[in-house]
A and B are shown apart, each in its own frame.
Chain A
């Protein structure tokens, strides 16, 4: 077979797919055939490239030229210019907002520059549905190495020496957990991959599975060999259909190749993997609840100890690691603990994948060395805040984490520093907030989530979070008092100290950190009855600027038609008026007005 002259790696991640990247692919294939280039140029669907903000996107390999925001109508021109005439098309390349000069190569774009890819090493480079492409990138070499040249104890030592810590959030040393499982009594042992990614704003696990499912499988088989487990489970979130499909394809292929199943690679080691679909409960990301759920029972957490490493699934020793943790394993085995532990800080080794979302220019998935500053993530990789707005805070750790303010942007990203700032590493969601985000509303938002997702077993979490939520709602509606602030803090600390599992213990963090760093916003809601960010709608008064409405909008009437309470009156060419008696402050008029004639007072 002759190699192709160019490979067009088109992103098949969820964000690009919903931006119709498959239509782009079809258009490319059609055009390539039309130009008679189909035996020279190949179109490949890859997993998530990471730079979701530029989607739908593709990278031309081996040149590494990056095209973003593709549209079907651009394709004939693109194929003719770049692939027939050899002239890359400048106006489809990425243009950084400040310079307006297109950057042809992916690796020269700031978003990709500061990244080190370990867990995401194959993203955008392979077709996730083809095992041969994974093998072509050193896939399953780590497994071959452990089966042919390492004892289980040597594997565990390697993982311990690497300093790898759990990437699901808590940061427990992975090698130590493996050692505990190996040392536990019993012939039958289980390992589990936790793919029940539930933190709102975090999608790295989904992305790893969608772009490189074999990296997770290989990590699991290596782990099973080290711990002496014969059966593995992957517990995957119900809302991730594409990830599930790719995982099932990968397992079938690995089984066909003898990489999973009886006598793996001709050795006397056997191991198989089952996939269990979650049924929609955030608490099932907690390990004891996850175990219950695999057993077909209610996803209720149990008190620990006993830890799953001694008594887990069906009472047997069970090791649970998160998707990203498993995906790191093959690389550590391949390249060695020394190499891995040189990346990162004293206590936090290696890299971490973060999903960078919210009010940020370069939304997407990034993998960075531990110890990088928040500032580098937000302003260099993330490209800063859109529309010239001012950065206010970055939220890490999802509903269990906290909000870190602008003055702490120099903070290095590692487990300890984030915890000291009142937040946590968590699974890796990073939500950027600007001046138009209300911190009281953010705290209330996370409590709405944890209130809904509390399993209800222990009282502090079930009742306490509901009360925190009630008080915060009161404050956002302008009914809060100064005593409420004290009550919030006391109650938050009680919930933190007395809840049964991590969900309750960490749920007050968003409240505590926003009160610590953004007290002035709470005070504005309580004493001035104003929301400085104009988010808490009950504190807003919506008015229409007569001048703008009449002169620019010519009384277009969109707000009048959209108003659910018929509170807006007016006619064509005449300024509209909001009847404040009827207004329910839903904010629709503000949102739909194209002329910015609706203002908030």
Chain B
């Protein structure tokens, strides 16, 4: 972890406690998780206790304290996706990648998460991988989609 990079992120925001969430979001984006050293630098610059950053990091789903995978898979669990079988898609990915929801594969290739409604219910069930969105996903299509990222 480069100290300088964290400093650069902090410099983009106001050095006030109210900027904490926004700074942590940028750190998360840079490292795909919140390294402890980075959090220490952030709270030092904002002059607040580490516990406060830690409480945010464990409250909001956008943050992770463990390294995340290079590709982020999100299975939509919105109502429309649920009634069209997204639960089975999620179970299938869990089995195929040998990973539980909310966790990351051992090779740090994929992280798997549930997300509630991506706002494209017309395409249910929906899975996103990084920036790509896949609609009307089926159990048969899913492995082929995952292959593109390996």
- A interface residues with partner B (beta carbon < 8 Å): 14-15, 17-19, 52-53, 55, 197-203, 206-207, 238-241, 276-282, 293-299, 355, 357-359, 363-364, 395, 398, 429, 431, 433, 437, 442, 445-446, 449, 453, 455, 558, 562, 564, 586-588, 591-592
Contact = CB atoms under 8 A, between A and B. Distances in A.
Given A203-B119, A429-B79, 20 more contacts: A18-B120, A18-B135, A197-B119, A200-B78, A200-B80, A201-B117, A202-B119, A276-B21, A277-B25, A278-B62, A279-B25, A279-B60, A298-B56, A363-B80, A395-B79, A437-B83, A445-B82, A562-B139, A562-B140, A591-B88
17 contacts: A18-B134, A19-B135, A52-B120, A52-B123, A198-B116, A199-B117, A200-B82, A238-B62, A240-B119, A279-B25, A281-B61, A296-B22, A358-B79, A358-B80, A363-B80, A429-B79, A591-B85
Contacts of B18: 294-296
B129 to A, nearest CB: 12
Given A240-B119, A299-B59, A277 B88 contact: no
Nearest to B80: A357
A442 B55 CA distance: 32
Interface string B110-142: 000001111111111010000101110011100
B122 A364 contact: yes
Nearest to A204: B119
Contacts of A17: 133
Which of B80, B119, B126, B139: most chain A Cβ within 10 A? Answer: B119
B92 A588 contact: yes
B116 A282 contact: yes
B50 to A, nearest CB: 15
A199 B78 CA distance: 8
Nearest to B17: A296
B21 A357 contact: no
Contacts of A591: 85, 88, 138-139
B38 interface: no
A458 to B, nearest CB: 15
Enumerate the 5 nearest inter-chain pairs by beta-carbon distance, A residue then B residue, closest first: A52-B122, A203-B119, A280-B61, A279-B60, A357-B121
A193 B140 CA distance: 42
A437 B21 CA distance: 40
B117 A296 contact: no
Nearest to A365: B122
A363 B133 contact: no
A284 to B, nearest CB: 9
B45 to A, nearest CB: 13
B38 to A, nearest CB: 16
A15 B135 contact: yes
Contact of A14 (B20, B56, B91, B118): B118
Nearest to B95: A564
A431 B81 CA distance: 10
A120 B115 CA distance: 27
Contacts of A280: 60-62
Contact of A433 (B16, B20, B83): B83
Contacts of B118: 14, 239
A357 B119 CA distance: 10
Nearest to A14: B120
